[in-house]
Amino acid sequence: MATVNDKIAEGMEFLGQCVAGDPALGCMQCGMCSSSCPLGTAMQYPPRQLILQARSGNLDEIIKSPSLWMCVGCYNCSFRCPRGIELTEEVWPALRDRAMQLGIQPPTELQAALQNTFKYGNALGNSPRKRTDWANNLDVPLRDLSQEPSVVEVLWLVGDYPSYYPRNQVVSRDFARILTAMGVRWGILGRDEKTIGDCERLAGEEGLFESLIEDNIQVLSKHQYEKILVTDPHSLNSLQNIYPKRGHNYPVEHYAPFLAERLDQLKPLLAKPVEATVTYHDNCWLSRRCGCFDPPRQLLEAIPGVTLVEMRRNRENGLCCGGGGGGMWLDGHIVEQGGQRLSDERIREAASTGADVLAVSCPFELSRFEDSAKVTDLEGRLKVRDIIELLAESMDLREKETS
Ligand code: SF4
Ligand code: SF4
């Protein structure tokens, strides 16, 4: 039977594997991580406690706790930690991975999303054959590289929700029109596209993530392109920060900086005023993790008629929508454990600015915030729009029924 000392040694070894340096010296228990966690007060083991309990030999208790499935990957704890301890990207996923290896199953909805990703390459459980369904009514040429290989300037990874989810499909068509109007030679992977797997990795499915890397690098190696463009900031994070750690480097950019760099070209196309007071929600992975704060704002400010106002918590202090790190599939569990849907709190904050549009740049946020607008009785008062939609409206490129 393991003694207390064995358990402490096991906890220290575990921490040593997932945090850089000497784990005994690293964390000083300052509590910055827990106090900046938007769900910390509802967790049995908020981030500071994870380290303390692991050091004290209580790994088993942590991984059995429902608290293990309450992190939504907002990156606040890692961002604030004065010792640079990678709680979000290393400690939480390693604990979740360990739990699953020991047969402890995640909450049902997350389990289903992970199983879907194993089976179909996307958390929604849709067939790869339907990957291009979003483009069925597209009125600009589509270059599907899975059907017809071709050299392109931009390889656009459309992403799971933008490929399959009806509300996001509208945005995908808008983006296709914008790229075309700007004269960009773009192509997509069509049925060969699979999720990049960032959320699955943070949810603890390291094995699944490794197999997605293998599949994705194989597909990406087949094509010639100057740049990979992503609509999903979680994919940006993996391709920019995680794939290189495994030896795979790609020139990747999120759509917001890509378009903002081309503002000189874009501005003359933004001809139609969009009269609206807009507030922008900094999504955690584009902003706090990848440091992109200005480009989304530059795009919004370039649209004639738009007045940009800021929420109280903005830029690096922005409040998470609760959808990252597997959070898209953990709402039920989090509420059951005494937490709250962060998107409900965030949309109230957006409304308090007096804005009539909440602008977003992450595919998860459209459905999350539109749902929150209904729950909080803000539906008629505050519209949720991807920045792409506002640009397309100003460029007069929107579909008739959605403009
Ligand atoms: S912020 Fe860093 S040093 Fe402070 S308690 Fe959290 S993990 Fe430890
Ligand atoms: S990533 Fe965010 S939600 Fe997760 S523990 Fe850290 S601060 Fe809390």
293 & 393 share domain: yes
123 & 252 share domain: yes
382 & 290 share domain: yes
The answer, yes or no, to whether any atom of ligand 1 lies below 6 A from the CB of 229, is no
The pLDDT score that the predictor gives to residue 24 is 53
Phi and psi angles of residue 322, each rounded to the nearest 5 degrees, phi first:
90, 5
231 & 334 share domain: no
How far is ligand 1, taken at its centre, from the CA of residue 164, in Å? 39
195 & 287 share domain: no
Q: How far apart are CA 306 and CA 287, in angstroms?
A: 22
In tens digits, what is the pLDDT along the chain, a chain of 403 residues?
778 777 777 777 777 777 665 555 589 999 999 999 999 999 999 999 999 998 889 999 999 999 999 999 999 999 999 999 999 999 999 999 999 999 999 999 999 999 999 999 999 999 999 999 999 989 999 999 999 999 999 999 999 999 999 999 999 999 999 999 999 999 999 999 999 999 999 999 999 999 999 999 999 999 999 999 999 999 999 999 999 999 999 999 999 999 999 999 999 999 999 999 999 999 999 999 999 999 999 999 999 999 999 999 999 999 999 999 999 999 999 999 999 999 999 999 999 999 999 999 999 999 999 999 999 999 999 999 999 999 999 999 988 655 4
Q: Which residues neighbour 159 within 8 Å (Cβ) at sequence distance 6 or greater?
A: 195, 230, 231, 232, 235, 363
Domain residues for the domain of 227 are: 108-260
The answer, yes or no, to whether any atom of ligand 1 lies below 6 A from the CB of 86, is no
190 & 327 share domain: no
Using a 10 angstrom Cβ sphere, with 0-12 exposed, 13-18 middle and 19 or more buried, the burial of residue 143 is middle
Residue with tokens 């890397």: 213
The answer, yes or no, to whether any atom of ligand 1 lies below 6 A from the CB of 84, is no
How far is ligand 1, taken at its centre, from the CA of residue 29, in Å? 5
Index of the ligand 2 atom closest to the CA of residue 73: 1
CATH at 36: 1.10.1060
Query: Using CA positions, which residue lies closest to atom 6 of ligand 2?
Result: 77
How far is ligand 2, taken at its centre, from the CA of residue 287, in Å? 15
Q: Which residues neighbour 274 within 8 Å (Cβ) at sequence distance 6 or greater?
A: 303, 304, 305, 306, 390, 393, 394
Long-range contacts of the stretch 48-53 (C-beta < 8 A, 24+): 50/87, 50/91, 50/92, 50/95, 51/15, 51/23, 51/27, 51/85, 51/91, 52/27, 53/11
Where is the domain boundary, 260, 277, 297? 260
What is the domain count for the chain?
3
280 & 390 share domain: yes
How far is ligand 2, taken at its centre, from the CA of residue 100, in Å? 20
* 281, 283, 294, 370 from 314: Cα distances, Å: 7, 10, 11, 20
Nearest bound ligand to the CA of residue 25: 1
Q: DSSP labels for 314-347? A: -GGGPPP-S-TTTGGGTHHHHHHTT---HHHHHH
Where is the domain boundary, 234, 260, 286? 260
The pLDDT score that the predictor gives to residue 12 is 77
Query: Using CA positions, which residue lies closest to atom 7 of ligand 2?
Result: 37
Residue with tokens 């049925």: 191
384 & 283 share domain: yes
Residue-wise over 103-113: b if at least 16 C-beta within 10 A, else e?
eeebbeebeeb
How far is ligand 2, taken at its centre, from the CA of residue 74, in Å? 5
256 & 273 share domain: no
Query: Using CA positions, which residue lies closest to atom 3 of ligand 2?
Result: 71
Q: Which SS3 state, helix, strand or coil, does residue 280 take?
A: strand
The pLDDT score that the predictor gives to residue 26 is 83
pTM: 0.95
Nearest bound ligand to the CA of residue 203: 2
231 & 288 share domain: no
Where is the domain boundary, 67, 101, 135? 101
CATH at 204: 3.40.50.1860
